[in-house]
Structure 1
Amino acid sequence: MSLADRLRAALAADHSPLLLPGDHFDFDPAVRGNPAAVLIAVTDRRVPGVILTQRTETLRRHAGQVAFPGGRIDPGDDGPVGAALREAQEEIALPPDIVDVVGVTDSYRTVTNYVVTPVIGVVPPDLRLTPSEAEVASVFEVPLDFLLDAANQREQVAEYQGRERHYYEILWQDRRIWGATAAMLVNLSRRLQWAV
């Protein structure tokens, strides 16, 4: 069974994991969030990895942070999948036609009121990816099993806008993966339940 097929089976499994809904639990459901999508690109190798980006320090929002390729869903996009593939092509020159789209998983609502839909796709290993100079400082890969290991997902607490905020972080070498990116990985690990 291929990696993509194993991921599809794991996402379709009948279980109800405890998922993180968003950065805050007191969102007013009547207030619509801004739709966005990210691509969780998993490399098809013996030890699968996940492609992540380090954002440039010059960006207005989330400068220097680790993130998945992705962004706002535009009117011309074919839903979250189309947006995630478009953004990955724009940000890291990942050709959409080489992504074996597995499916979408649980949305996550950010503190900036984006409702982010993660799109999971399998890509060939050792791709030549080119970061967009305006947005991406570097592209790197982290082993999937490291990211999914609950022992590496550390819950942290900080004060934000006068309130206590709980968030997750994952430390990989000299990189700090935290906030919404880490939360989506925590949700993915709970959803997959080591099925990969």
Structure 2
Amino acid sequence: MTLADRLRIALTEGHGREVGLMLSDTRDPRIDGEIVLAPAAVLVAITDRPEPGLILTERAASLRKHAGQIAFPGGRVDDSDADEIAGALREAQEEIGLPPHLVDIIGTSDRYHTFTGFDVVPVLGVIPPDLPLTAQADEVADWFEVPLSYALDPANRVKHAVEFQGLERHYYEIMWNGRRIWGITAAILANLSRRLSYDRLIA
């Protein structure tokens, strides 16, 4: 059975059961009440290796939002995109030169609502290893590959608390090789970990 087949089965089974997702796991803890959200999508690109990897980017320091943060390739879904999957593929091609036809789409995972007003759909896909990806300098300072098992292992994920507008808010953080993975990216990884049964938080 291929990696793509195994992931499809795990994702389907994961979405067929209840997992321990709290409201703070699916929306930025700074959101208070209802806000207008624009469609967005990110590509969770998993490399087809004996020990699969996960492609992440470091956003350019010049960007107005989330500058310098670790992120999945992705962004706003345009009117010209057929759906969130098409949007994620287009953004990944623009940001790191990933050819869309090389992505074997697995499916989508739990949406995440951002404080900046986006409804983010994570799109899972398997890609060949060692592709000659190139960061688009205006948006991406660098890209790297982290072992998927490390990124999804709950032992590597720390939950922090911070006070914002008088209330205690929570967020996740994953440290890898000196890189800080937190916020939206870490929340998506936490949710995916539960869906793929890396976390044993079955309700």
TM-score by length of 2: 0.91
Query: What is the distance in 1 between the residues matched to 2:102 and 2:38?
Result: 28
**Which aligned pairs between 1:31-110 and structure 2 lie closer than 5 A?**
31-110=35-114
Query: What is the distance in 1 between the residues matched to 2:86 and 2:175?
Result: 30
How far does the alpha carbon of each residue in 1:146-184 deviate from its partner, in whole angstroms, 9 at most, with x for none?
A: 011101110012234554321001000110000000000
Q: Which amino acid aligns with 1:7?
A: L
Q: Which amino acid aligns with 2:183?
A: G
Q: Note closer, same or farther for the CA distance 1:151–1:144 as it changes in structure 2 (3 Å cut).
A: same
List alignment gaps of at least 5 residues for structure 1: none
Q: CA deviation at 1:194?
A: 3.5
Whether the 8 Å contact between 2:31 and 2:115 is mirrored in structure 1 is no
Q: Secondary structure at the match of 1:116?
A: strand
Matched with 2:133 is: 129
Matched with 1:154 is: 158
Query: What is the distance in 2 between the residues matched to 1:145 and 1:164?
Result: 30
Answer yes or no: is 1:21 the counterpart of 2:20.
Answer: no
TM-score by length of 1: 0.94
Q: CA deviation at 1:110?
A: 1.1
The CA RMSD over aligned residues, in Å, is: 1.6
Q: CA deviation at 1:104?
A: 0.8
How far does the alpha carbon of each residue in 1:122-161 deviate from its partner, in whole angstroms, 9 at most, with x for none?
A: 0000111000010101010000000111011100122345
Matched with 1:7 is: 7
**Which aligned pairs between 1:107-186 and structure 2 lie closer than 5 A?**
107-186=111-190
Query: What is the distance in 1 between the residues matched to 2:130 and 2:46?
Result: 11
List alignment gaps of at least 5 residues for structure 2: none
Q: Secondary structure at the match of 1:11?
A: helix
Q: CA deviation at 1:71?
A: 0.3
Query: What is the distance in 1 between the residues matched to 2:18 and 2:181?
Result: 25
Query: What is the distance in 2 between the residues matched to 1:81 and 1:121?
Result: 10
Identity between Structure 1 and Structure 2 (%): 56
Query: What is the distance in 2 between the residues matched to 1:25 and 1:61?
Result: 15
